[in-house]
């Protein structure tokens, strides 16, 4: 019980720092450092591309050296990389700092997941992961409020304070993780490849499908604000209401949604439901451009946001079960590194892909995006069955017995 409390507290603290950083970092780099939006976009794209690869390698380190110690070191490294942003003054320095930050973040995510897998009973992992997600959203909301204060003040000192808060949050979270029990490193087997996940084609396919589903991530931060302001009659402040709806729903309902996932079969169903819900939400978003009145357009957008967040929660619950349940013992770090790379890639490709698709394609773009969600959700079940057939029988037996 003490372990779960500390894991949850560490997640909450680091999420506060993340929320403050996400809200204010782009304006800091452009207004204070003097970079152009294109340069910021380039640096973040390169950074998350490098980070998505490094996450697998650092997850492998967590398997071999132990996930707790690795997570603590990577948490401190993340704090240092955030602090490094305070001293950048050129494009080259920013790209390097962004790469280092993304590598530490992706590696930290993989090692934390491996630590969770080692400390939490398999039957409880998905529900506990849902609790972490709820805490993460709550922390991000608090951090976003702090970042909003910095935006309102607008001075260099205010922005720098946000980065200091973010760095300190990761230091404190790392110190909290030091208090959880250790998980023994996996034994080295010379007959196996060092990074086995790269040869696991079914799992790689599931990671790809998960990445496609995660393309919903840039919707509220970028796509919908631009869509509302350029294509609809709805007031621009509506995006804040939609974001509050999304965040509050995850905090309140994510754990309840996750309780319905009790194994790989139910996880596959949830992925299919998520694809369908996200598809319908995209259709609803496309209808918002058809109204010339503000309130009908706003109601349409809110309806789409409500369906979207249900799909988001279903997708998350199903993906956690799949990501953990199909990873072999002793390899959770590298497997979670690959599965978690979908988040980094969605952050990297999502803004460019979705702004072009939606803002240029209009209603047709929404239909195409929804179709991608529907296809990925539908293909998840056969991909899971393929992966099950390739798992060692004893591993599957342990997973199934934990559901009994």
Domains of the chain: 2-183 (1.20.1250.20), 197-403 (1.20.1250.20)
| Per-residue pLDDT, 382 | 97
Torsion sign (Cα): 294, 298, 301, 303? negative
Instruction: Name the residue among 173, 125, 148 with its Cα closest to residue 325.
Output: 125
Q: Tens digit of pLDDT for each residue in 70-108?
A: 999 999 999 999 999 999 989 999 999 999 999 999 999
Cα dihedral sign, 383-338-117-105: negative
pLDDT of residue 374: 98
Residue 402 has pLDDT above 80, yes or no: no
Inter-residue long-range contacts of 87-96, CB under 8 Å, 24+ positions, other chains counted: 88/33, 89/33, 91/35, 91/39, 91/42, 91/43, 94/29, 94/33, 94/35, 94/39, 94/40, 94/43, 95/42, 95/43, 95/46, 95/47
Query: 123 CB contacts (<8 Å, ≥6 apart)?
Result: 402, 403
User: In the predicted model, is pLDDT for residue 198 greater than 50?
Assistant: yes
Q: How far apart are CA 64 and CA 48, in angstroms?
A: 24
Least confident piece of the model among 39-43, 145-149, 351-355, 389-393 = 389-393
Identify the pLDDT of residue 229: 85
Residue 127 reports pLDDT greater than 70: yes
Choice between 374 and 125, residue whose per-residue pLDDT is larger:
374
Backbone φ and ψ for 41, nearest 5 degrees, come out as -60, -40
User: What does the pLDDT read at residue 397?
Assistant: 44
Q: Which of the four pLDDT bands, split at 50, 70 and 90, describes residue 394?
A: very low
The rounded percent of the chain whose pLDDT value lies above 90 is 57
Work out the mean pLDDT of the chain and round it to a whole number: 89
Q: What is the mean pLDDT of residues 4-31?
A: 88
User: Would the pLDDT of 385 be above 80?
Assistant: yes
Average pLDDT for residues 314-334, to the nearest whole number? 92
Taking CA atoms, 184 is separated from 65, 70, 122, 181, in Å, by 8, 12, 17, 10
State yes or no: pLDDT of 206 exceeds 60. Answer: yes
pLDDT for 187 beyond 90: no
* Residue scoring higher pLDDT (1 or 232): 232
Q: Alpha-carbon distance 153 to 176, whole Å?
A: 32
What's the whole-model pTM score? 0.86
Specify the 3-state DSSP secondary structure of 306: helix
User: What is the pLDDT at residue 323?
Assistant: 94
Is the confidence at residue 171, as pLDDT, over 80? yes
pLDDT at 25 over 50: yes
Kindly tell me if the per-residue pLDDT of 270 is higher than 90.
yes
The yes-or-no verdict on residue 32 having pLDDT over 80 is yes
The three-class DSSP label of residue 292 is coil
Label residue 395 by pLDDT band (50, 70, 90): very low
- State how far the alpha carbon of 349 is from the alpha carbons of 153, 243, 352, in Å: 31, 21, 6
Q: Report residue 1's pLDDT band, with 50, 70 and 90 as the boundaries.
A: low
pLDDT of 275 higher than 70 = yes
């Amino acid at each position: 019980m003490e372990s779960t409390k500390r894991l949850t507290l560490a997640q909450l603290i680091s999420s506060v720092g993340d929320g403050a950083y996400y809200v204010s970092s782009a304006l800091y780099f452009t207004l204070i450092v003097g970079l152009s939006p294109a340069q910021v976009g380039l640096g973040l794209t390169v950074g998350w591309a490098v980070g998505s690869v490094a996450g697998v390698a650092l997850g492998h380190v967590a398997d071999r050296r132990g996930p707790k110690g690795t997570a603590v070191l990577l948490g401190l490294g993340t704090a240092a990389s955030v602090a490094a942003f305070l001293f950048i003054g050129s494009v080259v320095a920013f790209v390097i700092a962004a790469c280092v930050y993304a590598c530490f973040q992706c590696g930290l995510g993989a090692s934390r997941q491996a630590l969770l897998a080692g400390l939490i009973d398999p039957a409880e992992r998905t529900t506990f992961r849902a609790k972490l997600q709820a805490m993460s959203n709550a922390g991000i909301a608090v951090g976003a409020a702090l970042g909003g204060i910095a935006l309102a003040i607008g001075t260099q000192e205010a922005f720098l304070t946000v980065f200091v808060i973010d760095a300190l949050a990761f230091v404190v979270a790392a110190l909290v993780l030091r208090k959880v029990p250790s998980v023994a490193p996996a034994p080295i087997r010379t007959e196996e490849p060092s990074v086995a996940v790269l040869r696991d084609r079914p799992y790689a396919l599931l990671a790809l499908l998960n990445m496609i589903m995660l393309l919903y991530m840039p919707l509220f931060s970028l796509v919908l604000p631009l869509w509302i302001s350029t294509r609809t009659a709805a007031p621009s402040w509506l995006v804040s209401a939609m974001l509050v709806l999304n965040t509050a729903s995850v905090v309140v309902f994510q754990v309840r949604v996750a309780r319905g996932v009790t194994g790989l079969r139910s996880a596959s169903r949830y992925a299919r439901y998520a694809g369908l819900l996200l598809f319908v939400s995209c259709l609803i978003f496309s209808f918002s451009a058809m109204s010339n009145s503000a309130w009908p357009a706003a109601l349409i957008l809110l309806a789409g946001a409500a369906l979207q967040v249900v799909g988001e929660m279903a997708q998350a619950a199903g993906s956690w079960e799949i990501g953990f349940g199909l990873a072999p013992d002793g390899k959770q770090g590298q497997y979670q590194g690959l599965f978690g790379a979908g988040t980094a890639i969605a952050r990297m490709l999502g803004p460019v892909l979705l702004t072009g698709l939606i803002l240029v394609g209009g209603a047709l773009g929404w239909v195409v995006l929804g179709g991608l969600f529907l296809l990925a959700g539908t293909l998840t079940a056969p991909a899971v069955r393929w992966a099950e057939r390739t798992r060692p029988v004893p591993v599957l037996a342990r997973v199934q017995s934990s559901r009994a």
